[in-house]
Structure 1
Amino acid sequence: AHLSNHTLTHYRGNYSAFERQRAEKLAQQQSAFEKQQAEIAHMENFIRRFKAKATKARQAQSRIKALERMTEIAPAHVDSPFSFRFPVPEKMSDPLLTLSQAELGYDGKTILRNIKLSVHPGSRIGLLGANGAGKSTLLKTLGGVLPLLSGKRTQGEHLALGYFSQHQLETLDLDASPATQLQRLAPKAREQEILNFLGSFNIRGDMASGSCRFFSGGEKARLALAIIVWQKPNLLLLDEPTNHLDLEMCQALTVALQGFDGALIVVSHDRHLLRNTVDDLLLVNDGKAEAYDGDLDDYRRWILSRASEQSSNTAAQQEKPQDKKRARQDAAAERARLAPLRKQVKALEATMDKANQRLSELEEVLADTALYEPANKAQLQTLLREQGDTRQALEAAEEEWLSAQEALEQAGS
C-alpha cells in the first residue's frame, strides 16, 4: 500500500512488483518519462565508469548487476522530493587519511589491534562484521572522535571530513532553524542559495526557517546529512546512515553517493546501499580489520555457516551438567528471555530448509529434457514460475533470518 499525495494506492505482489507497476504508471506522463530517462542516463553513466575501473572480477560482477537493477527501479522514484548531489571536493590529498600499527578502543579496553589502513581519493569501502565487532569504533577513530590507544593516525593536508552517525542528530541546534545552521557554516552564502539547497532534502518553507526542535527522527537525519553535504567533504564516514530515512530518501542517498567524487567508508545493514555504493569490503572480526575478497552473498553464507556452528557449540555446552543451583537458575532465566527470538530463528531455518528442499526437487524435475517439448510448454512455465517464486521466498527468509539472528546476538550480549 503506497501513500503519496494524500492518496493510498494498493499494489499486488512484492516490492519489486510495486516498483515495476508504479514505473509503468508514471511513464504514462510525459514529464515524468523525461525525468526518468535523465535519472537512468545518470546511473548508466556510473555503471560505465565502474566497469572501466573494475579490478575484482567476482565482486565487480555482483556490483554491475546491482547497478543495472538500480536503473530498473529508478522510474518508481521519479517523483521523489529529494534530488541532492554531493558537490565536487575543492582539493584532495593522497592519501587522505592513514592508520599505522593502530590499536583501537576506549576506556583502556582494546577492540582492534594492528590496524593498517590508507584511504585514497576514490576509495569506496564497506565495513562488515557483527554488532560489537568494532565497526563503529574504527569509524569513530578514523573520524577523530576516539583517540588511538597506540599507533599513528595521519591526516592529509587537504582532508575535508564528513562524519555521519546517530550521534550527529544529538548535536543539532534544536532552537536554530536549518537555514541558520547552514548560514553559520558559510556566512557569505545567499539566503536563496541556502533555501534551494535545503529544498533538495525536502526541507522547505517553515521547516527551513523555523526551529527544528519538533523534527521527527527522519527529518533530523536529513538535516544532519544536509549539513555534511553543505561542507563539501572529500572523505565521507557514514555509520548506519539509512536508519531513520524513508525509502525515497534512501534511494536519493544511494544515487548521490554513486556520483560522489571523494572517498567513502560506510557501515550499514542496508545491503542495497552497500551493493550500489562500495567497491571494496573490509571484514571487522576477532580484533582485526582485513580485506574481504568475497561479495555480500559470500558474506551472507559465511554468517549463516558461522551461526550454525555457534548454535551447535551452545547446544553441546548446555548438555554439560551444572553443579551449582544458581548457574541452573541463571541458565533457565536466560533461555526464557531469549526463547521468542530463538523460536523465530528456528522457524525461519525450517522455512529455509523447506525452500531449499523444494528447489532441489524442482531442479531435478527441470533436468528432464522431455519437459522442454512443445507439448509440455504450459507445465514448464508453471514449474519455472514456481522455481522463481521459491527462490524469492528463500532470499526473503534468509534476509529475515539474518536480522533475527543479529537481534538474538545483540540480546545475548
Structure 2
Amino acid sequence: MLNFKNIAIRRGSRLLFSGASFIIHNGQKIGLTGANGAGKSSLFAMLRGELHADEGEFSMPPNLEVAHVAQETPPLPCAAIDYVLDGDRELRQLQQRLAEAEAAHDGIRLAELHAALDHVGGYTAQARASRLLNGLGFTTAQEQLPVSSFSGGWRMRLNLAQALMCRSDVLLLDEPTNHLDLDAVIYLQDWLCKYPGTLLLISHDRDFLDAITDHIVHIEQGKAEIYTGNYSDFERMRAEKLAQQQTAYEKQQREIAHIQSFVDRFKAKATKARQAQSRIKALERMEIIAQAHIDSPFGFSFPPPKKMPNPLLKIEEADIGYGDKVVIKNAALSISPGDRIGLLGPNGAGKSSLIKVLAGQMTALSGKLQTAQDLNIGYFAQHQLELLRLDESPLWHLQQLDKQATEKDLRNFLGGFDFRGDKVNDPVGPFSGGEKARLVLALLVYQNPNLLLLDEPTNHLDLEMRHALSVALQEYEGAIVVVSHDRHLLRSVTDQLLLVADGKIQPFDGDLEDYKQWLAEQKKSADETVTSGETANSVSRKDQRKLDAERRQRLKPLLDAVKKAEAAVEKYHKQQQALEQQLADPAIYDDANKEQLKKLLSLKNQVDNALEQAELDWMTAEENLSQAE
C-alpha cells in the first residue's frame, strides 16, 4: 500500500498542499483531481522518486514495479511493436539472458530461462503488445514502422502502450486521453477497468473517471483529501461537505457577532470587565471555520450572434481527402441555426478533414460548398495553439481583434478565462497547454461567431474549465459541429450525432453507449474477417455455422473460467472496500474495540490474499483464452 502521512509539497516558495494523510491500498483505482497547478503532477513526481515531500513521510513496499508514461520519445529506428515490448523490463532481461545462454551452449540454464519466460507470459507478449497497439489506433502494418516515423501525438500513444505493457504493481497515468480519439479512449477505459494493480489517474474527463475509479483524491485550497467512490460520488460528497461547512460558518459568524457585541458594550464597564475579557479570550481560542466556496476561476458566455442566416453552410456531392486518397465520398451536409452536431467515427475516417473543409482550411476534392453571406465561423483545432505569437501577451492577441476596445474591457473579458493581473501582459511562450487552449477559446468567443467548429476543444483543459465551456455551449444560440473524446461534453452539448465511417456521413441512430456497442461489433467483425480469411469464402453457410458452434463449444470452458475469475475478483474487491471503510472509522481504534479491530484486521488480511489469488487466476484464464483464440 501507499502510505501518506502529513505530506506537504512545495514548488519553490509556493506551498501546493499540506497535511495530506491517507492510505492507498493494493488494487484501488484512484482519480487525482484539482485545478491545473494544484500539485497533481508533483505528487506523481514524488511517487516516482523524482522529488521528496517537504514535510511528512511517504512510504510504500520495496520492489514495487511502478509504471508511468514517458513524456519524451526519441526518434528511434526500432519498430513500434519492439518499442512497446520494451515496457516489460523483466521480459527483455530474460530475453537477453536467453541469448547469452544460447551463445554459451548452457542447456540447463536455457531450460531454467525458458521456464521463467513462460511464467512471465513471454510467449504471448508479442500478441499482447499487438492488441495494445490495435486498441490505441495503430494498424497491423504500422506495428513494424520505426518509432521515428510517427508524429508527436502518435509517439505519445506509443509511450502509453509501453507503460500498459509493463506488468506493473502501480500504474501512474497523467492525462492519458489527451492524444486519443473517442475509440481509443473507450478501449483504454475498458483496459484500465480490468487492470489488477493499483492505479493513480490524473484526468479531466468525467465519464472516464466515473467508469474507472473507486476513490478520488482531490487537491483544493492547499489540501489533498481522499473520497470513496467515483467522480460523481465525490461531487455529491463535496457538495454536502461544503453545505455543512457553510452552515457551520454562518452559525459561528452569528456567535462571533454576538460575543463581539457583548465585548463592545461592556468592556469599559468595571462591573462587566471580567466577563468581557473572558469573551475576548473565547474569541481568541475559537477555531475559525472558513467560508465554503468552490474554486472556479472561469466565467464567460457567448454573446448572441448578430446575424443568423439559414442555412449557414451547405456541402453537396463532396469528395473529401488528400491527394489521390478519398476518405469521404459524396458528402452532403446542411447546417442551420441551432444545429448541435457531434461527429463520431473511427480514427482516420475523416472527421477532422470534414471540419477543415467546413472551416475553409481545406478544399474538397470535388463537389459544392455554399456559405451564407453573413457566415461567421469560430474554428478551434489543436494546431491553432501553435499559431499564437509566443513573444506576445493575451492582451496583445485580443487587441489585434478589436483595436477600438479599452484595455479595461479587454482585461475584464480575459478575466473570465482566468487571465488576471500581470498574466494578461505575460508572453504566451511559457504558458502551459491548458493556458494556450484557454486563450485560443477566448479569442474565438470574442469574435462572436454564428457557427462553431470544434475539433477536440477540451484537450489540456481542467475539469472546471471543461464545465464552464459546457455551460457556455449549452447557452450558445448559434450552430455547433464538434469532434471530441470527452463524452460528457458531447452528451451535454449536442443533440444530433453523425457517423463518419466507411467513406460516408450518415445519421447515427443511438447514443454514446450505442456507439460503444457499434465499435465493439465493428472490431468483432474485423477480427472474424482476418481470422477466417479466404476460408470463409470456400465454406457454405451451414458449414460456417457448424464451425462457429464447434468453436464456441471449444472455448466455452475457457470463457467460463474467465467469467468465474472476474466474478471472484469483483467479490473480493467489494469485500476489501467494505473492510477498508470499517477500518477508516476512528472509533474502531478505541481500547473498547480491540477485539473487533483484531478480527477486522485478520479478515482484511484473508480478503487481501484471496483477492491477490483471484487476480492471478483471472490473468491466467485470460491468457489461456487468448492462446486458444
TM-score bracket, normalised by the shorter chain, equals 0.5 to 0.7
Q: Hey, what does 1:285 align to over in structure 2?
A: 501
> Where does 1:263-302 land on structure 2 (aligned, <5 Å)?
263-302=479-518
Mapping of residues 1-400 of structure 1, within 5 Å: 1-28=217-244, 78-317=294-533, 354=566
Q: 1:252 to 1:295 in 2, by over 3 A?
A: same
For residues 425 and 376 of structure 2, the distance between their equivalents in structure 1, rounded to whole angstroms, comes to 27
State the alpha-carbon separation in 2 of the partners of residues 77 and 248 from structure 1.
14
CA deviation string 1:370-402 (max 9, x = no partner): xxxxxxxxxxxxxxxxxxxxxxxxxxxxxxxxx
**Distance between the aligned counterparts of 1:352 and 1:261, measured in 2?**
52
Larger deviation, residues 77-86 vs 211-220: 77-86
Alignment partners' CA distance in 2, 1:353 and 1:127: 38
- For residues 68-87 of structure 1, the C-alpha deviation after alignment (integer angstroms, 9 at most, x for no partner) is xxxxxxxx995311111111
Distance 1:29 1:142 in 2: 50
- In the TM superposition, residue 311 of structure 1 has moved relative to its aligned partner by 2.3
Amino acid aligned to 2:227: Y
Q: Which amino acid aligns with 1:202?
A: D
Name which structure has the greater RCO, CA cutoff 8 Å, separation 6+: 1
Q: Secondary structure at the match of 2:228?
A: coil
Alpha-carbon distance between aligned partners in 2 of 1:30 and 1:98, rounded to the nearest angstrom:
52
AA at the equivalent of 2:470: T
Farther off after superposition, 256-265 or 288-297: 288-297
Measured in 2, the distance between the counterparts of 1:203 and 1:314 equals 53
- Name the SS for the 2:227 alignment partner: coil
Contact 2:393 2:424 in 1 (8 A): yes
1:310 partner SS? helix
Q: Summarize the Cα distance change of 1:199–1:189 in structure 2 as closer, same or farther, 3 Å threshold.
A: same
Q: Which amino acid aligns with 2:356?
A: K
Q: Rate the CA distance shift 1:352–1:114 in 2: closer, same or farther, 3 A.
A: farther
Secondary structure in structure 2 of the residue aligned to 1:11: strand
1:157 to 1:351, Cα distance in 2 relative to 1, 3 A: farther
Would the aligned equivalents of 1:106 and 1:146 in 2 still touch at CA under 8 Å? no
Contact 2:317 2:332 in 1 (8 A): yes
C-alpha separation in 1, matches of 2:565 and 2:433: 38
TM-score computed with the length of structure 1 as normaliser: 0.65
Q: What is the deviation of 1:298?
A: 1.3
Q: Rg larger in 1 or in 2?
A: 2
Partner in structure 1 of residue 289 of structure 2: none
Contact 2:242/2:293, CA 8 A, preserved across alignment = no
| Count of residues in correspondence between the two structures | 288
Q: 1: distance between equivalents of 2:498 and 2:460?
A: 24
| Cα distance in 1, alignment partners of residues 394 and 564 from structure 2 | 47
- TM-superposition CA deviations, 1:3-38 (whole Å, max 9, x none): 11222122122111111111112224659x9xxxxx
Deviation at 1:312, TM superposition (A): 2.7
Given that residues 236 and 265 in structure 1 are in contact (C-alpha distance below 8 angstroms), is that contact kept between their aligned partners in structure 2?
yes
AA in 2 matched with 1:186: D
**More deviation in 77-86 or 121-130?**
77-86
TM-score normalised to structure 2 length? 0.43
Q: Which amino acid aligns with 1:94?
A: N
Cα gap change, 1:25 to 1:261, in 2 (>3 Å): same
- Read off the aligned partner of 1:280 and give its amino acid letter: Q
Which string of whole-angstrom CA distances, capped at 9 and with x for unpartnered residues, describes residues 219-252 of structure 1? 1111111110010011000001111111111111
For residues 18 and 140 of structure 1, the distance between their equivalents in structure 2, rounded to whole angstroms, comes to 39
Write out per-residue CA displacement over residues 128-159 of structure 1, whole angstroms, 9 at most, x where no aligned residue. 00000000000000000001111111111111
Contact 1:102 / 1:151 at 8 angstroms: preserved in 2? yes
Structure 1 vs Structure 2: percent identity of aligned residues?
53
Give the RMSD, CA atoms, in angstroms. Answer: 2.8
Q: Distance between the aligned counterparts of 2:293 and 2:357, measured in 1?
A: 36
Structure 1 residues 318-357: Cα deviation after superposition (integer angstroms, max 9, x where no partner): 999xxxxxxxxxxxxxxxxxxxxxxxxxx9xx679946xx
